[in-house]
Structure formats: structure tokens, C-alpha cells
Amino acid sequence: MQAVTIKLGAVVLISLGLNACSMLPSADGVFIDEKENYKKAHQLPELEIPPELLKGQQLNEYDGGVKGAVTTVNNESPLKTTPLSDLQTTVELIDQGLNSRLLMRDSLRNVWRKTLSALEALDYDIEDKNRETAQIYLNLAKDTGSDSMLSGLSFWKTVETSVYVIALKQQDDGVEISVLDEAQQQISDELSDEVLSRLLAELAL
């Protein structure tokens, strides 16, 4: 009898529990789906592009740009070009008698190097050179001999050697190349004219 009473009590409790659960509000109202809000909370905000960057033309990766980067082309700014200098490396002879000289449109350093190389190529006897004073000393020989019948013999001739100075001087329009005598004076004779003429031809190459 006691066992029956316990069973009936258990049945009653289960029935009451089921009725109580059926009276609870729907789970849809209790547990709110926050999945969309969670996604939005972890999404980065859209990148705002400054208006000044939108004035140009945007290029994507297929146009030669870099993916993820904004490349702009400003069509308003003209392309600036630097014109080449009209000053070219040229050499010319300034024929003014005693003051005749060469004018080479280049730096003193380049003219010094080119003049020295030209004199060596022309097989001149370079006695000395001074880079600080921009002077090159040459030993120039001139054959002399008598007008007699023996003057045609090579051993009968004597050779006189004179020192000539090739002087370089920087000017506004280039470097002047002059021929001076041993006393550092301007000279114009057969030898000096020949040196200037041969130098002109060699430097013009």
C-alpha cells in the first residue's frame, strides 16, 4: 500500500513539472541571437579616402597599380623638364697674332687631361708639367744648318732646343690654351703656331 502511494506521488510530481515547463515563455524570447551583432563588432570600418585623393585617376592592379593601394595621377601639374646645356665640349682657334690661342669649352680638369694626352699622342718631348699652375713644359727642336752643299747631310745639321710652355687658363666661356716662351711671355713664331695647329686638330677628334 505504501509503495502504491509513493508511485502515485511521483506521477503527480512529474505531471506538475511538465505543466510548469509548458507555462514557461518561449526560448526564442529568452535567448537572443547575437550572431550578426558579433560579426559587425569584429569588422573593421570602411576606409575613408580623402577627397583630394579622389581628384586624380585611380588605378587598379590591372592598370599597373598595386592591389590594395590607391594611385592617383594629377593631370593638373605639367611635366617639368630640364633643358640640356648649350655649352658643348668644342675647341676653336682664336687667331690674334701674338695673342693667338685655343679656346676649349670644358672644365679645367678635363682640358688639362685632354691637352696632356694630345701632346703625348703627337709625340712632343714633355720636359715637365705643373698641375697647380696648369702649365706643361715642352722641349721643341728646330733644325738649323748652312746653305752650303753639305747642308743636305743629316750629320752636318745641328739641332737647337728651346723650352716652350703650354699654359691653361680658366675663363668664363671655357679654358684658353696658350703657348709661351721660357720667360712666360706670349710668343708667336713658327714653332708656337705649329703647336697650336696640331693641338687643335688632335683635340677636335
- What is the structure's pLDDT at 141? 86
Least confident range of 52-61, 67-76, 91-100: 67-76
Q: Are residues 105 and 46 in the same domain?
A: no
Model pLDDT, residue 97: 86
Same domain, 123 and 56: no
195 and 119 together in one domain: yes
| Residue ending a domain, choose from 74, 102, 130 | 74
In a domain, 195, yes or no: yes
Structure confidence by residue, pLDDT tens digits, 94-140: 998 888 999 999 999 999 999 999 999 999 999 999 999 999 999 99
Domain's final residue, options 16, 44, 74: 74
Average pLDDT over residues 164-184: 95
Quote the domain boundaries for residue 184: 91-203
Residue 171, pLDDT above cutoff 70: yes
8's enclosing H/E stretch is: helix 2-23
Residues 144 and 68 in one domain: no
Q: What is the DSSP letter of 202?
A: H
The answer on pLDDT for 149 being more than 90 is no
Asked if 63 and 111 sit in the same domain, the reply is: no
pLDDT tens digit string along 4-25?
566 666 666 777 766 666 665 5
| CA-to-CA separations, 95 to 100, 112, 116, 193, in angstroms, rounded | 5, 21, 22, 10
Residues 111 and 177 occupy one common structural domain: yes
Q: State pTM to two decimals.
A: 0.53
Which pLDDT band, with edges at 50, 70 and 90, does 73 fall under? very low
- Say yes or no: 181 and 114 in one domain: yes
**Domain at 102, CATH number:** 3.30.530.50
Classify residue 6: in a domain, yes or no.
no
Q: Is 63 a member of any domain? A: yes
All three cell numbers of 2? 505504501
In a domain, 53, yes or no: yes
Residue-level length of the chain? 205
Q: Based on the domain organization, do 180 and 100 belong to the same domain?
A: yes
Q: Are 67 and 104 part of one and the same domain?
A: no
Q: How many CA atoms lie within 13 A of 66 on its CB side?
A: 4
Determine the residue type at 133. Answer: T
Domains contained in the chain, number: 2
Would you put residue 64 in left (φ > 0), alpha (ψ -120 to 50) or beta?
left
* Mean pLDDT over each residue of the chain, to the nearest integer: 75
CA–CA gap between residue 5 and residue 76 (Å, rounded): 99
